[in-house]
Amino acid sequence: MNKLLSSIALLGTLTLGTVTLAVSGLAQTPPPANPGQPQPPSSYYPAPPPLQAPSTQQGAPVTALGSPLPSGEYKVERTDVTSEAEAQLFADARKIVWGRYAKIKGAKPGEVIVTRQGNVWTVKGRIDSVAPGTEGDWATIDGVVERIAPNLVQLKGEVAFRVAKVEKGVPCKVGGTLHFRRSGKSNVWRLAEGDNPCDGAREGFDLVLDKPVEKKPTPAQPKRG
């Protein structure tokens, strides 16, 4: 009888120990992560900074760099003429009038040359101011015509203005796509982008039609008998 009681007591002790270990292990097991809550910080994240920054190779020199754009990307291969009448008028543009000095006594127009080379039209010209007090000031144009339409000549190029009292005489330029517009029956194409980029003054840069007067041959006088 005593042996039976001892066996029962021993079995109970072992069972109680197993339950205790199970409960202890359950208490030490971390709860499953909740997707809705941020992950608690870890002693290993973020990682500590390295003792030495990674070394880098020396960069290539920036001299003699080329453009990444294909060559000839903006080259005008052909002038688009949508108005033959406008083209005939513009072919006779031969003068430049500079509005900044046009009303000063003694002002004279400059010269512009419109050239047709195959399918491409070009424009080049210069005006030197000779009005008193403005000597040494000048304006130039150099470009390739992209399109000739009714009352419009559009070209890609540059117009430069040199004014002694502006930027200490350094030429101020407008470039890129330039638009020369004509109104009605006018014989003047005015630069739409004609504001001086340095002082904001309206330059009034005009290309003027100057068709030469055709001289009619004088009829031969009959000889007197």
List pLDDT tens digits, range 45-98.
Answer: 566 666 776 666 666 565 655 555 445 456 889 999 999 999 999 999 999 999
Coil vs helix vs strand at 149: strand
Half-sphere exposure of 13 (CA within 13 A, CB side): 6
DSSP type of residue 53: P
What's the pLDDT tens digit per position in 160-201? 999 999 999 999 999 999 999 999 899 999 999 999 999 999
Question: Of 20, 165, 148, 171, nearest to 78 (Cα)?
Answer: 148
- pLDDT of 176 reads 93
Q: Domain segments of the chain: what residues?
A: 80-209
Task: Give pTM, 2 decimals.
Answer: 0.62
